[in-house]
Homo-oligomer: A and B are copies of this chain.
Amino acid sequence: MHKVSVTAPVNIATLKYWGKRDTSLNLPTNSSISVTLSQDDLRTLTTVGASDDFKEDKLWINGKEQNLDTPRTQSCLADLRSLRKQLEQELSSQGKDFKPLSSMKLHIVSENNFPTAAGLASSAAGFAALVFGIAKLFELPQDNSEISKIARKGSGSACRSLFGGYVGWEMGKLGDGSDSKAVQIAEEDHWDMKALICVVSDAKKEVPSTSGMQLTVKTSDLFPIRINDVVPKRYNEMVETIKQKDFEKFAELTMKDSNSFHATCLDSYPPIFYLTDTSKKIISAIHELNSQGTVVAYTFDAGPNAVLYYQPKDEEKVKAFLEPYLGHLNEWKDGKGDDEKKLDGVSKLIWTSVGGSPKIVDDCLIGDNGEPL
């Protein structure tokens, strides 16, 4: 058995991806930007094995065998095998030795180190790890931007998890998606950024993002101005704030874009709600804190969880401010939260920071028998 293990990070968009112009290729209606989070705190670990002994492709996620026979996963596997086949033909034509990995079946074992209860979409890190892992096993010469196009077919936002630091997903214009790919705007050590994930419990089953975004594309009257005017301008501005490390402007653009995205959800018909009263209390609290100078940016994906970005120099200020709201969850201090301000809807805090790109690791999830360990 030939195998390799990799980890891939979670990314949280600061300029939101919401809307597909092509649903089978996962081509977006607008470019987006994200911050990659540290794999020390949140990551998918994936081991990919190839062997002549394997009878069929198999995938296990968090200990449970999954159906691999979905168009998206099949599309990723086909693309990767095609690139490997191309490589094998080149090596063959050069008279070089190689393993015929493109024709072997794969066993893929994947584990997230974050609980489902954390409410984080795991598909981005999951597809990034799967695609990056197979690309490494296949020793593909393509760079991460090229590989990101394959991850994109698995899950749109997965393409951004191919890079660390600050990442753009250029929407592209071509019908085949060959120019719709992730690019790195800045490395993680260009700008040290902290992130705090506030996990908000929500009784209600949420509208899945795939169907939600298509409802918005189809029914929201406000959506066209967002994708045609608002986001293209904001993309360039946000890239600039990252390069300049202008936190105040970066925070404003991030918060505005989160609100803009949720506004188009509310303008969908029937309306889609992801923000709860708890989410809104967090938003109000952040604006109160920032009224004395911008310290924190909030952003919300397709769910009630807040992700807060702030600079390391402001960590004590952020903790002191959040204590009355979130004191009951914090480990940094024994003090109880202020009952009046307390945000009972927040069930968990994850303190993390900007982090690096996918990497090869020693941990291995597949045993010698080709099954999960």
The interface residues of chain B lying within 8 Å CB-to-CB of A263 are: 222, 263-264, 266-267
Cβ contact of A225, chosen from B221, B255, B256, B283, cutoff 8 A: B221
Say if the beta carbon of A316 comes within 8 Å of chain B.
Answer: no
Given A273-B280, A280-B273, A287-B270, answer yes or no on A260-B225 (Cβ-Cβ < 8 Å). no
Considering only residues 171-227 of chain A, those with a C-beta below 8 Å from chain B are 221-222, 224-226
C-beta contact mask, A254-273 vs B, less than 8 Å → 1, else 0?
01100110111011111101
A230 within 8 A of B: yes
Question: In this assembly, does A276 line the interface, its C-beta being within 8 Å of a C-beta of chain B?
Answer: yes
Q: Is the CB of A262 within 8 A of B255?
A: no
Q: How many copies does the complex hold?
A: 2
Bound-complex Cα distance A283 to B204 (A): 14
In the assembled complex, the Cα of A70 lies from the Cα of B129 at a distance in Å of 65
Asked if A277 CB lies within 8 Å of chain B CBs, one says yes
Q: How far is the CA of A266 from the CA of B222 in the complex (A)?
A: 12
Query: What residues of B have a CB within 8 angstroms of the CB of A284 in the complex?
Result: 270
B260 touches A221 (CB 8 A): yes
Do B266 and A259 touch (CB < 8 A)? yes
Using Cβ atoms and an 8 Å threshold, which residues of chain B touch A277?
A: 276-277
- Smallest Cβ-Cβ distance to A276: which chain B residue: B277
Picked from B229, B259, B273, the residue with its CB within 8 Å of the CB of A267 is B259
**Candidate in A222, A255, A269, A276 with the most chain B CB atoms within 10 angstroms:** A222
Instruction: Tell me the complex Cα distance, A188–B260, Å.
Output: 38
Over the window 275-301 of chain A, the binary record of Cβ atoms lying under 8 Å from chain B Cβ atoms (1 yes, 0 no) is: 011001001100100000000000000
Q: Are A269 and B276 in contact (CB under 8 A)?
A: no
- Does B256 contact A262, Cβ atoms closer than 8 Å? no
* Nearest CB on B from A126, distance (A): 30
In the assembly, what is the distance between CA of A277 and CA of B270, in Å? 16
Closest 8 CB pairs of A and B: A263-B267, A225-B225, A263-B263, A270-B287, A263-B266, A222-B222, A221-B230, A277-B277
A-B CB contact pairs (8 Å), 14 listed: A221-B226, A221-B230, A222-B222, A222-B263, A222-B267, A259-B269, A259-B271, A263-B263, A263-B264, A263-B267, A270-B284, A270-B287, A273-B283, A277-B277
